[in-house]
Amino acid sequence: MLNEEKVALMTKMALYEQGEGRKSIPMSKYYRSDYLSLRLLNSVILVSVAYALIGGLVMLVNFEWILENLVHMDLVLIGKRILISYLVAILLYAVLTYVIYAWRFKKCRKGLNEYNGNLKQLYAINRQEEKEKKYEAGGY
């Protein structure tokens, strides 16, 4: 016999798991601080890669100009500027990452709470069913 209540619950949960839950459920396995630091680390690496790529493109585009002026350039000053802009970029991006993911972490709680509630309810229904099965089978 189909238990309609159970089907409704399981459907809701399946829809959540396949939709919003695909991101939220893995997220729920971390502590907030762990999750955010992982994201921050990830961001720093990505920004570094992107920065190197942008730098490479700019150099490539201005290649001739650089070759012509290489002798007169104050390389230390340029190095300093590059370093500072890199640090500023990382800082900006880190703040952005922190804000966005902290907000997402908070936001996904609501769906997760509902999901956990459904999970408990489903567990209760299953236990009830098992009890009934035992009873039908005759028990001890």
Partner 1 sequence: MRNLLVIKDWYQDMYRKYGTFIEIGLKLAVSLLAVILLNVNIGTMAVLENPLIVIGIAVICALVPKSIMVLILAAVIVAHFAAISIEMAAFILVLLFIMFLLYFRFSAGDSMVLILVPVLFMINIPFVVPVAMGLLATPFSIVSVACGSILYFMLRYVHMNLETLTASSADGLTSMTNMAREVFTSESLYLVLISFSIALAAVYVLRKLSIRNAWEIAVCAGIGIQAVILLIGILVVRIDVFTIPALVIGSIISLLLAMMLAVMRHNVDYARTEYTQFEDDDYYYYVKAVPKIKTREKNSSPRAQRNRKKKR
Residues 27 to 46: which contact partner 1 by CB under 8 A? 46
Residue 76: CB minimum distance to partner 1, A: 27
Residues 90 to 129: which contact partner 1 by CB under 8 A? 93, 100
Q: Is 61 in the site for partner 1 (CB under 8 A)?
A: yes
Number of residues that bind partner 1 (CB under 8 A): 23
Write the DSSP string, 70-132: GGG--HHHHHHHHHHHHHHHHHHHHHHHHHHHHHHHHHHHHHHHHHHHHHHHHHHHHHHHHHH
Residues 6+ apart with CB under 8 A from 122: 6, 9, 10, 13
Q: Which residues bind partner 1 (CB under 8 A)?
A: 2, 6-7, 10-11, 13-15, 18, 46-47, 49-50, 53-54, 56-57, 60-61, 63-64, 93, 100
